[in-house]
Structure formats: structure tokens, C-alpha cells
Structure 1
Amino acid sequence: MKRYITSLFAFLLFINTNAQNITDTWSGKVHISAEKTLDFNFRITKDGKNYMTIIDIPTNRVTGLKPKTTTFNNNTLLVDGTNLGIKYEGVFDTNTQKIKGNFSEGGNTIPLILERSKDKPKAIARRSQEPTKPYPYHEQEVHFTSKTANVTLAGTFTSPKTNEKHPVVILITGSGPQDRDQTFVGHKTFLVLADYLTRQGIAVLRYDDRGTSASTGIFSTATTEDFANDVVAAINYLKTRNDIDTKNIGLIGHSEGGIIAPLAANKTKNDIAFIISLAGTGIIGSDLVYNQVISMRAFPVPDEEAFNKTMRKAIDIASSSKKLSEVKSELKLLYTNEVAPILKPMLGSDKKTEQVLNGLVEARTTPWIRYFYNYNPADEYAKIKIPVLSLNGTKDTQVPAKIHQEGIRKALEKAKNKKFEIIELEGLNHLFQEADTGKMDEYSKIDQTFSPQALQIISDWVLNQVK
């Protein structure tokens, strides 16, 4: 009888263990609105005792996200992507064979139910401007080290098929963990830009941000200055190559990349020949964040003036030089007193409100944002003597052209730089697409990845600098 019970127990344990086997491809869908959904794919594997997860978000054409760790204990799955600023936590239901949990990015948390994929992941539709192989130029996978953080950056180097030494540009991505193509909401902006420039006779180096795709390191603890150090590493790598004109190395930065470029240039000794800022900012970060919070708020408030004052105070607290623990404590108290009464009627419970408030506190106190609050790109542009081209679209709702172009202009005038151009491109949004409204929810609906007019202006300007 004892043997029978032992055998039965082992059999039930075997069934239970297999029921809890989560190594598989899991899929989930989140409804953002009546018209927009996000598709997620989680590929969970196991090597010995350790789990590993690769996350794809096909809707946004994001692939190969590699969270730091994955654990599965007591039917609870925790995918720790703090290296990328994301997290997923869910409970495996042995009856439904589903994982019910929440996906978090920054201060935003959304419910996400994962099911075992029955079909192959959907193919990601290509945009019409994306180039197809074979390319009429050389393409090489490269790696180089950012010594200040001991991270290895992986990228792609493209160059024309001639024996000449070509001018070269380094593409610098915008905020958030970006791959070398700056893949975002279905578009590969830097792939299109690099392809166009290389066909015009300009070599291009683009690379995955640290901690993203094939690059090592941790993204979530890095600041704008850390990313500038990575650009310096890219410059040093290019200087070792004998197939480029090392006197004509330029930087092209989009959005945050536009404020990293002058910082990186000022860290080098006359290594950079020119800078192009694409939708880069020209004011101190705390003012930019405040302007975006006010202009892009997604919910109504009973008293606009009072809400705006609260947001200003929150940013002042978060950008202060106080200890992090003090900052978080002051922020939580402010949000509890001033923001919770607004959010609770919309969220419906104290628990959800508490979760959102905690998320806001964390989002407002990351190493990156704390540095960004106090960084003013105008201070760096005021030291720049080399040629600068600053482009913005008139329909950019994230970085409105007028105020930021004026900030860059005044800084370059302060530097007595007579080799700059400030251009506003009519009808283009933050991604340099021809747009109707310029709002973020429109980006993915537009097939065009990069305005042909903007591409030509960039290329012509670079070639004019290296004559």
C-alpha cells in the first residue's frame, strides 16, 4: 500500500510539474483603445535551472528585448527587465493554462494575459521606404567597447563600394532603449536614414543602445552623459578604421540624440567635423518635461492652474539635489495629497491608485530622468564652433520647433558660431514623417518612415561640409 501511495504521489507530482512547465512561446494582446492594440510575444526558455525570456512587440516592430532575469516560483512568473525599464509579473493558472499579470514600463502598468502560442508569430509588415537586400554598398557587423562602463556596443557599419576614404556619420538614438535601426511604432527610422546616406557616398555607423539587442550593459541605470560616453567610444572606434576620412566624422542625433551630440563632441579633441540635430531640444530638461506633462496630459483635471502648479512642484522636488529617499518621500506625499483625488474616480480603487502613484514616483526618480532634469543642451551648444544643422518639423508635438530651435540658435550665437543653419520643415512630425496632426498616435498609421525632403536636406548638407 505504501508503494502504491508513493507511486501515485510521484505520478501526480509528474503531472503537476509538467502542467507548470512554462518554457514555450506565449502571446498576449492589450487593448489600448477601441482602435489600437499591442501584441506581445514572450519566448521563455530554460538553461539548466535558469530561465530566459525574449520579448517581441510586433505591433511596434520591437524585437529581441532581453530582460535581465526571469524567475518562476510558486506559479508566479517574474520577468525582470529593469535593465530596459520594463517588468512583467503574472500568476500561472493551472486550470486555464494562462498567465495572468501586468506589464509595466516606467510609471505605466497594463494588464496582460499570456497564452501559449498556437500559431507562428505574425510576420511584421515592412514599410515602403525600407531597403531590401542585396544593398548596393558594403554592410558590416561591428563591435566596440565603451571603456567608461565596460560595455560592448554592437552595430552596423555601411560604406559605399569604392576605394576612396569616405566621410562618416554616427547615428545617435532618441530616448528609451533603442536598437540600431531606432525601431519604433512600426518604423525603422535609422535603417532608412543610413541606407539613404550610404547611397549618397556617406559611410554610416549605427549601434544598439547599451543593454539593448546585441549590446551589453544595463540601460536603465544610464544617463544622457553615459550615452555621450558611448558616442565617444564609437568615435574612437571609427578612428581605427583605414577606410574612412577621419577628418570628416559627423554626429546625427534624433530627439535625445540631438542633445547627446554636442555633449559628446565637447568630450573629444577636435574629432568631430559637424553635428546634425533632428528634433533635438534647446532648453533645460526640467522645463521640457513640465511642458510635455501639461501639453500631453491624457485626462481632465478640475483645476488647470492648481494641477500645473502641482506638476511644477513635483519636477522641482524630483530634480533637487536631495537624497533619493527624501525625494521619493516628498513626491509620494505630494502625489497622495494632490493627484490621488483626481485619479481615484478614474481608476476606481485605492489599490490601483496606489500602484499608479508608486509608478509615478519611480518614473520621476530614475538615474536618467534625474540627470535629464538638470541638463541644458544650450550649455553644450554654447561651446560648439563646428558646423551645426538643426532640423525640426512644424507639426512636432513632442519637441515643438519654435522654443527649441530658438534655444539652440541663441546658444550657437553665444558661441559666435557662424556655421549653423536652423530649419523648420513644414508639415513634418517628431519622426520627420509628413503628418496631419503630428500627434504620437498618428506615427504608426503613416506608411512613410522619413520625409524624402528631409533626407535630401541632410545628405546635401553633409556633402557640402566635406567638400
Structure 2
Amino acid sequence: MKTIISITLLFILSIASAFSQDLSGDWSGKAKRGEKEITFIFNIKQEDGKYSAIMNVPTFRVSGIKPTATTFTNGKLIIDGSNVGMSYIANFNSELQQFEGNYKEGGIEMELNLKKGSVEIADQRRPQEPVKPYPYYEEEVVFKNNEANITLAGTLTLPNKNGIFPVAILISGSGPQDRDETFMGHKPFLVLADHLTKQGIGVLRFDDRGQGASTGDFGSATTEDFSKDVLSAIAYLKTRKDVDKKNIGLIGHSEGGIIAPLAANNTNDVAFMVLLASTGISGTELSVIQSKTLRQFPVKDEKAYEENSRKAIAIVTSDKSEEEIKTELTEHYNNFLRPILSGLNVPDKNINAFINNQVNTSIKPWSRYFLQYNPADEIEKLQIPVLSLNGSKDTQVNAKINQNGIRQALIKGGNKDYKILELENLNHFFQECDTGKMDEYRKIEQTFSPIALKEISKWVLEHIN
């Protein structure tokens, strides 16, 4: 990695002073991970002497990510995205007029140089995405979560500008998401909203707090906090004359499927619910399963690995202070994970980064809440119509295990109107697939199976009063 080499501090300061005048704007570059080339664009702004940045990753069609802080001092740019699990640290090369540094996300580190200006990359074909003008009404909306003192921004689509319509609120999965739930080059919520609106069902979808045009800090929020954002969306819809207040429903995907019942049980204004690839078991049990099925390295003793994974979770969910948990968890991972990774000839530097990321992720409020939350407890309380759909090839959320949890909770609670369906050959994002593995998502042209879309709209229309 190249860095600025200067003879005197005065020279460094003069570079920073001269350069700071036009730091604002787009800075773009490409990083390589294996054979994959990933394009990054940072839009940097300066207001009242302070910098801010918005990160876009057009390779994955992700946009509007807002890092916590951006600083530029003495030729060094630091973009702190600890709220979303990333960072970029670089020095400015005055000769080449570019930033040269490293991008880190999780345990991954990539060399990334940024030059002034944006770049264009060719879009992959996504034939299901609607093209304007749409045959329905669309409106950009904003509403407040007064308790959190944040503003949420989204898109409301209605079958017509005039009339009163049922409306479904779309709730995104884990991680910072925009209103289209953009992921791996797809926009599943855009496709779902388009389909539902064409069937006569209005849709409200919104950027997660701290993402896109929404304010707030995503990194410090929990599943419960997100449920309150949904309650704010419901309250907003109730103020509109074009919304049928008796037919406001929730459609949650992945984590959105465990946020939905939490929100519904805190209001009397939810008429129906659709759970898409939702979990029906505790966060602890899901994490243990995923630690084995999504793990990217082999282990010799699966039983010991599970026992150590459970011990890590016990540490994270203990009543000890954050500092005590961090210390104890680091020691546990060094005793548990380091020997495994060292045995696979992983460099110490990478092991240290991996363990550090695991620890920092585990102690976040979201992780600690999620591990102790069992959605079955909330699903059991639901007395509204519920549709649960899971894909048979979902490798992130096992259909049979989780639908069994959902089914048992609904039966225990005495819910009389529910439908649980496992859809063949669909993955976590309801794409028709071969393996269901995560690295397949981007390669698939289809964004959302027409079979799944039809099941959702047909069921919702049948349950509108």
C-alpha cells in the first residue's frame, strides 16, 4: 500500500489544507476479493466544517449506506462505518491524486484506492423489475418515530390515486437495508410491491433507520427498536384518507418475519400478517444451526464445536458488563477458534481480524437481544390471519425446523386462521434455484418466484375484510 511521503509536517498540512476545498463529491474505486471485482463509490460532503459520507456499492446494487463518521486530517481519510460493520482508512497520494488504503468489512480486508468522480457499471439483467411509468400511483413519504426521534422515509404505492385501499407494510431482513431490500444485485421489495399494487393491494416500504433517506443509528438498534419503526409506519398510514384502516397488514422477510409479530402484539391495527423465510425458533438455536451450516471452514469435532458455540452465546447473553463480556469472549475465541483456523494455515493477522470482528459483532445490542429473543413467544399471541412461506432450499433459515416452530406456536395460541407452506426449490429470497447457497443469489436472473408472488397476493386478497 502506498502512503504519502513528505519531508516536513508543513508540507503535509499544506496538502490537507489545499485539498480539503474539493474533497466533497464522489470518490470511486474497485477492490478485488478473489476473482471478484467490487466497485465502491463514496459521496463525501462537508457542512459546517464536518465531513459525512454515503457509501454505494453498485456491484451489489447497494446504496445509501451512512457510516457513523468521516474525518480527513493531515491527508488521512477515515470513514468509520462501525454502525454497519465496515471501515475505510486511506492516505492521499498527491502525485496520483487518489486515496490509497484498505477497506474492511467483518473479517475481510481489501486494498481500495479511490479517485475523484463516479463510475458506471453495467446492470445485470433483472427482467422482473418494473419500469416507469407505473400503472399505479406512487408517492415518496416520510413519517416519524417520535420515541426514537428519527424520521423514516419510504415509498407508498396505491392501485390508484383516488380511492381507499388495503395496505401492506414490508419489513426487511437483518442488516441495514434500503426500501427495496436491495441485496446481491436484486430488489425483491420493489418487485413484491409492484406485484401487490397491480393486484389491488397498496404497499408501504421504507429505508431502515440510518439508511437511505431515513435518519437514526442502525448499529445501536435492536429487533424491538425496529418493531417500533413499524408501529410508526402503521400510525402514519392511519392518518391517510386513501388507506383502509381496517386492512393494514405486515409482510416481513427473514428478520422482518420476527419483527412483524412483535409489532402486531403492540397494536390493534394489524389485520393480517405474511411471514417470508421467517424463523420460529430462538435466536440462540438459529445461531447454533447457522454456525454449523453456514460455516466456511471444516472442523474435526462437530459436537465440540457446537458446545463451544453455545458457550460463546452464554457469555454474550450473560448479565456481565460489556467490557467483561468482551474480555471473556475474546479469551474463549482464542482458545476455541484460533487452533481450528491455525490448523488450516490461516495467517495470524487474518485470525486476529476474524476474532475481533466476531467479538465486536456479538456484543452489539442487536446481537444480544436477538440471541435471547424467541419469535414463537410472540407468534403464539397472534389472533390475526397468518401466512407463512419458506423455500425448501433455503440454506439460511431451514424451512422444516422453523415452520414447525411457527406451527406449534400458532396451535398453542389457538389461532384459527393460518396457512403454512413450504415452496419447492426456492431459496431464502424466494428465487427458483439449484443449490440455495448464498453465492448463487446474484447469479440468478429471477428476483422473486412468480409462484411465491401469487401465493402472497392471493392469500392477502382472501383475507381483506
User: TM-score, normalised to structure 1's length?
Assistant: 0.92
Deviation of the 1:326 alpha carbon: 1.5
CA contact 1:26–1:114 (8 Å) conserved in 2:
no
Amino acid at match of 2:27: W
Deviation of the 1:311 alpha carbon: 1.6
Q: Deviations over 1:304-328 (max 9, x none)?
A: 3322322221112112232212211
CA contact 1:253–1:277 (8 Å) conserved in 2:
yes
Q: Deviations over 1:162-193 (max 9, x none)?
A: 64321111000000010111111111110100
Deviation of the 1:299 alpha carbon: 1.4
- Measured in 2, the distance between the counterparts of 1:139 and 1:415 equals 38
Q: 1:24 to 1:231 in 2, by over 3 A?
A: closer
CA contact 1:153–1:215 (8 Å) conserved in 2:
yes
Q: 1:424 to 1:78 in 2, by over 3 A?
A: same
Alignment of 1:1-400 (within 5 A): 17-18=17-18, 22-34=23-35, 36-47=36-47, 49-105=49-105, 107-116=106-115, 120-125=119-124, 127-161=126-160, 163-268=162-267, 270-344=268-342, 349-400=347-398
Q: 1:246 to 1:95 in 2, by over 3 A?
A: same
Deviation of the 1:355 alpha carbon: 2.5
Which runs of no fewer than 5 residues in structure 2 stay unpaired? Answer: 1-8
- Measured in 1, the distance between the counterparts of 2:378 and 2:266 equals 10
- Measured in 1, the distance between the counterparts of 2:18 and 2:159 equals 54
Match of 2:5 in 1: none
Q: Deviations over 1:3-23 (max 9, x none)?
A: xxxxxx999975675468644
Deviation of the 1:346 alpha carbon: 5.1
Q: Match of 2:292, SS? A: helix
Amino acid at match of 1:80: D
Amino acid at match of 2:199: Q
Q: 1:394 to 1:18 in 2, by over 3 A?
A: same
Deviation of the 1:84 alpha carbon: 3.0
CA contact 2:255–2:278 (8 Å) conserved in 1:
yes
Deviation of the 1:91 alpha carbon: 2.9
Q: Match of 2:134, SS? A: coil
- Measured in 2, the distance between the counterparts of 1:265 and 1:349 equals 48
- Measured in 1, the distance between the counterparts of 2:381 and 2:15 equals 68
Q: Deviations over 1:60-90 (max 9, x none)?
A: 1011222222101233211022333322222
CA contact 1:170–1:250 (8 Å) conserved in 2:
yes
| Alignment: residue pair count | 457
- Measured in 2, the distance between the counterparts of 1:53 and 1:390 equals 39
Paired-residue identity, %:
54
Amino acid at match of 2:49: K
CA contact 1:131–1:192 (8 Å) conserved in 2:
yes
Deviation of the 1:359 alpha carbon: 1.3
Q: 1:27 to 1:238 in 2, by over 3 A?
A: same
- Measured in 2, the distance between the counterparts of 1:197 and 1:386 equals 20
CA contact 1:28–1:112 (8 Å) conserved in 2:
no
Q: Match of 2:248, SS? A: strand
Match of 2:3 in 1: none
Q: Match of 1:152, SS? A: strand
Deviation of the 1:123 alpha carbon: 5.0
Structure 1: 4+ residue segments shifted above 6 A? 9-13
Deviation of the 1:124 alpha carbon: 3.7
- Measured in 2, the distance between the counterparts of 1:12 and 1:142 equals 46
Q: 1:408 to 1:17 in 2, by over 3 A?
A: same
Deviation of the 1:406 alpha carbon: 0.3
Deviation of the 1:43 alpha carbon: 2.5
